[in-house]
Chain A
Amino acid sequence: MTTQVPPVETATPGVETERKTYLNVTKGFMSWAGTLDHKRIGLMYLIGTSAALLAGGLFALLVRLHLWEPTGMLFDNAEYNQVFTLHGVFMVFLFVIPAIPAALGNMILPLQLGAIDVALPRLNLLSFYLWVTGAIFAILAIVAGGFDTGWTFYTPYSLYTQQAVGLIGMGVFILGFSSIFTGLNFIVTVHKLRAPGLTWFRMPLFIWALYATSILQVLATPVLGITVLLVAIERLYHIGIFDPRLGGDAVLFEHFFWFYSHPAVYIMVLPAFGIISELVTVHSRKPLFGYKLIAFSSLAIAIISFLVWGHHMFTSGQSTYAMFAFSFLTFFVAIPTAIKEFSWVATVWKGSIALNSPMLYTLAFLIIFAIGGLTGVILGALNVDIHLHDTYFVVAHFHYVMMGSIALAFFAGLHHWWPKMFGVMYNETHAKISCALIFIGFNATFIPQFIMGSRGMPRRYATYVPDYEPYHKASTIGAMVLGVGVAFMVYYLVVSLLQKKRAMENQWGGVTLEWETPTPPPLENFSKPPVVTNEVYDYSKLDLETTITPAK
């Protein structure tokens, strides 16, 4: 997918002229705080969500350290409950949901569309500030005494506990609107700002995935909004909708909560699929196998995901009929997901596979997601789920999806677009070491959790039966390795910004539109509006010279 635009004029070799990029075109705090540029907003999101990731990761390490001993090492039960809740809330609401769409998506989506910005730039900035406000509420809630409801806020416990549930509920409500506005913006952008010639089936799959995600964000998140609002009203005014003491129903809360939170799983994972689709083809230098099937499977997943929320409630007292329907529909999600996984593998097959760090992260994703997805099938069966529900098996399963797959895809995307975003290259050897540490550490953390889960270890336990001690110890050791891997990644990425080792103009040989602009892009992305004439992922048109030309 090259354009008719001639290559950007290259500076004379050896002459250092500072080109105006979005990073340096204006300076000063206000030029960032008040920016409407999608790349700057994406960058601010990247910093914010990464901070949330590190905070959430720290909480996770504390949880794992605590569980070294069956009686707990670090905390009393009250503190432990707060720490695992913080881990969940930070990871889910502040990192996983916004990280890929709002940080990488904001950065890349308009570039891949050939647009100079998202359709509604002010709303984009508002969305970022809503995220900041939500994060502030989360921090206020910690300061105000913390909260210990788990990230699911199940009633009636969340109604009775005396802690700062109101504040964090407010935070989640605001973060929900941040997410809605990002999704809304992307839908409009995809519909209205595609470059001439960029038909729907010429769009990169990252955009398809973000589009499907946006539909979920717009249509599911409001139900979460009204749910946390009702919890807040319930705590203040005791209206009784969710309070069994007043005739309310805790299962209704679960229905509302999972109506959002199941699609939310796909809000998190679909953008990861998008990144992987993108990276698999670029680093195999081969057109994506089954492009249309992958595109439609994103939409299919988005829609089916609205029909399966009850599988989080197989043990919670739904009617048998509802369980029947939800279990049946749940298995249907497996099909488009399997199609994606197979198509990625088929893309790698007979490709020209560059084993650089983004591709290593991608391969790690493919293996880990296979485990995460397949264990999901085990959980879809009704009677097996009854045994495994709320055990460490479920914990391990969704960490394989949310941490193993989504965070790895985020890292993969970060490594892939890092040279594009900053024009600098990190140390590839360091990146490979870090990828190996993360892969090994991750599996060492969560494979023992599968085992103890299928043997009955319930989740959210501050202390546990000593029978499970060896698995907890193995898991804690794995978590430490994983933590070291992530910390090392942060280290070499920061170093790359300081060392300013030039990246190539088109570091990986991508053919989507983001590689048509100078690296890093100027303020309004394209020197001339691009026109797309090629089919998507057509590597025969790749100008290989740009892959060995240093960026200016």
Chain B
Amino acid sequence: MSDAHDSHGDFGDLQMGTHHVSSALQFTSVLIALLFLTIITVAVAQFDFGGANMLIAMGIASVKAALVILFFMHVKYDTAINKIMFLSSFLFLSLLFIFTLADRATRQMDHRAHTIKTPVASEWVHPNTLNSDH
């Protein structure tokens, strides 16, 4: 793994700017960091921080994801447009999350909520077949 200086320059004129060869040392460091963070996330999960559990776990997972994206997926060295395109998917995903979960979270805050209970499935009866004969 000491071949970081291997020649790939023969093609530099043909593929200029298209690739960046990371050193093996960098990959290995990232791997060690990822494994370490995995241990931390497991260790932290043994304690109960109440509502913060999810935030902590997602925070660590996001750091790990960032490492994978930046180094294993070479995004750190990629062209601006590729960065924008890939990262915009997270932006749009967050829109789905924010609005859907905000609806879910604020539904109980409606001022009529105290009179409106959520019935459980067993309280209602369903027809066994719905127009199956058509």
CB closest chain-A residue, reference B121: A245
Report the interface size class on chain B.
20 to 34
Contact code string B106-134 (vs A, CB < 8 Å = 1, else 0): 11011000000000010000100111101
Whether A246 touches B121, Cβ cut-off 8 Å, given contacts A162-B131, A306-B95, A319-B109, is yes
Are A160 and B130 closer than 8 Å at their CB atoms? yes
Contact code string A210-236 (vs B, CB < 8 Å = 1, else 0): 000000000110010000000000000
- Looking at chain A's contact residues, the main secondary structure is helix
Which of B102, B121, B131 interacts with A78 by CB under 8 Å? B131
Contacts of A237 in B (CB 8 A): none
B11 interface hit (Cβ, 8 Å): no
Contacts of A256 in B (CB 8 A): 100
Contacts of A255 in B (CB 8 A): 96, 99-100, 103
B47 interface hit (Cβ, 8 Å): no
Are B99 and A162 closer than 8 Å at their CB atoms? no
CB closest chain-A residue, reference B81: A191
A307 interface hit (Cβ, 8 Å): yes
CB closest chain-B residue, reference A321: B106
A325 interface hit (Cβ, 8 Å): yes
A527 interface hit (Cβ, 8 Å): no
Chain A: minimal CB distance from B133 (Å): 9
Whether A223 touches B96, Cβ cut-off 8 Å, given contacts A78-B134, A162-B131, A247-B121, is yes
CB closest chain-A residue, reference B129: A162
Complex-state Cα separation, A437 to B103, whole angstroms? 46
B23 interface hit (Cβ, 8 Å): no
Which of B92, B103, B109, B131 interacts with A306 by CB under 8 Å? B92
A252 interface hit (Cβ, 8 Å): yes
Are A322 and B126 closer than 8 Å at their CB atoms? no
Are B102 and A219 closer than 8 Å at their CB atoms? no
Contacts of B38 in A (CB 8 A): none
Are A321 and B121 closer than 8 Å at their CB atoms? no
Complex-state Cα separation, A256 to B131, whole angstroms? 27
Are A319 and B131 closer than 8 Å at their CB atoms? no
Contact code string A233-257 (vs B, CB < 8 Å = 1, else 0): 0000000000011110001100110
A427 interface hit (Cβ, 8 Å): no
B88 interface hit (Cβ, 8 Å): yes
Q: Which of B92, B103, B107 has the most CB of A within 10 A?
A: B103
CB closest chain-B residue, reference A307: B95
Are A320 and B110 closer than 8 Å at their CB atoms? yes
Contacts of B81 in A (CB 8 A): 191
Complex-state Cα separation, A68 to B12, whole angstroms? 72
Chain B: minimal CB distance from A86 (Å): 15
B89 interface hit (Cβ, 8 Å): yes
Contact code string A163-176 (vs B, CB < 8 Å = 1, else 0): 00000000000000
Contacts of B96 in A (CB 8 A): 223, 255, 259
Chain A: minimal CB distance from B78 (Å): 14
Complex-state Cα separation, A160 to B132, whole angstroms? 9
Chain B: minimal CB distance from A351 (Å): 36
CB closest chain-B residue, reference A247: B121
Whether A319 touches B121, Cβ cut-off 8 Å, given contacts A162-B131, A307-B95, is no
Contacts of A317 in B (CB 8 A): 107
Contact code string B45-78 (vs A, CB < 8 Å = 1, else 0): 0000000000000000000000000000000000
Contacts of B88 in A (CB 8 A): 219
Whether A219 touches B126, Cβ cut-off 8 Å, given contacts A191-B81, A318-B103, is no
Chain A: minimal CB distance from B83 (Å): 13
Complex-state Cα separation, A219 to B107, whole angstroms? 27
Are A322 and B130 closer than 8 Å at their CB atoms? no
Which of B85, B99, B126 interacts with A325 by CB under 8 Å? B99
A161 interface hit (Cβ, 8 Å): yes
Q: Which of B81, B99, B106, B132 has the most CB of A within 10 A?
A: B99
Complex-state Cα separation, A318 to B81, whole angstroms? 37
**8 A Cβ contacts from A174-228 to B:** 187, 191, 219-220, 223
Q: A251-B103, A321-B109 are in contact. List 18 more A-B contacts (CB 8 A).
A: A78-B131, A162-B129, A162-B131, A162-B132, A219-B89, A220-B92, A255-B96, A255-B99, A256-B100, A307-B95, A307-B99, A309-B99, A310-B103, A318-B103, A318-B107, A321-B103, A325-B99, A325-B102
Report B's interface with A, CB cutoff 8 A: 81, 85, 88-89, 92, 95-96, 99-100, 102-103, 106-107, 109-110, 121, 126, 129-132, 134
Report A's interface with B, CB cutoff 8 A: 78, 157, 160-162, 187, 191, 219-220, 223, 244-247, 251-252, 255-256, 259, 306-307, 309-310, 317-322, 325-326
A-B contact pairs, 5 of them (CB 8 A): A162-B129, A251-B103, A319-B107, A322-B102, A322-B103
Going nearest first, the 6 A-B pairs with the smallest beta carbon separation are A78-B134, A322-B103, A319-B106, A319-B107, A321-B106, A162-B132
